[in-house]
């Protein structure tokens, strides 16, 4: 029967497909740039993180205290910007007393490198040591445990000696 079938084909404007491809390409490129940018920012921030370490020392044993100073030296050699605090309490407290400190020179050396040494006031009282007798530059804290907890709450890494 001679009827011609008529197909309904929509004609697109010339160049519309190219514009669409161009827009999609632009969006993909921008997305890649944003991902790359934020990856670099996040990686840089992670690498720039400053380490913060709080050591808990309550041993009077000088061999153990010697290990502490060696570890502090190792950390500062590898990562000089690391913040370090050492809290002395219990029997270790005598290690920060002027007349009895076997490591007074090491304490002073590391203080010059930014290490903070803290003496527990409760331990000073327990051992009948006047706070004025601690080594110069040593911080006296009211309670060692609270100092340790406060630092951990601030994101410091805790190491027990």
pLDDT over 70, % of the chain: 76
Residue 120 pLDDT: 98
CATH class for the region spanning 51-160 = alpha beta
| Two tokens, residue 136 | 């110069």
Angle at 104 between CA 90 and CA 61, to 5 degrees: 40
Quick count: other Cβ atoms within 10 Å of Cβ 119?
Answer: 27
Burial class (CB in 10 A: 0-12, 13-18, 19+), 20: exposed
pLDDT tens readout for residues 96-153: 999 988 999 999 999 999 999 999 999 999 999 999 999 999 999 999 999 999 999 9
């Amino acid at each position: 029967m001679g009827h011609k079938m008529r197909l309904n084909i929509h004609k697109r404007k010339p160049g519309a497909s190219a514009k669409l491809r161009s827009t999609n390409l632009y969006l993909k490129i921008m997305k890649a740039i944003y991902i790359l940018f934020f990856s670099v920012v996040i990686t840089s921030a992670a690498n720039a993180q400053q380490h913060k370490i709080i050591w808990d020392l309550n041993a009077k044993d000088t061999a153990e205290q010697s290990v502490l100073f060696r570890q502090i030296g190792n950390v500062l050699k590898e990562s000089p910007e690391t913040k370090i605090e050492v809290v002395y309490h219990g029997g270790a407290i005598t290690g920060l007393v002027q007349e009895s400190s076997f490591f007074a020179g090491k304490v002073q050396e590391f203080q010059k490198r930014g290490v903070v040494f803290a003496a527990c006031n409760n331990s000073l009282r327990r051992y009948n040591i006047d706070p004025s007798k601690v080594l110069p530059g040593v911080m006296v804290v009211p309670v060692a445990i609270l100092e340790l907890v406060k630092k951990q709450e601030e994101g410091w890494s805790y190491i027990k000696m």
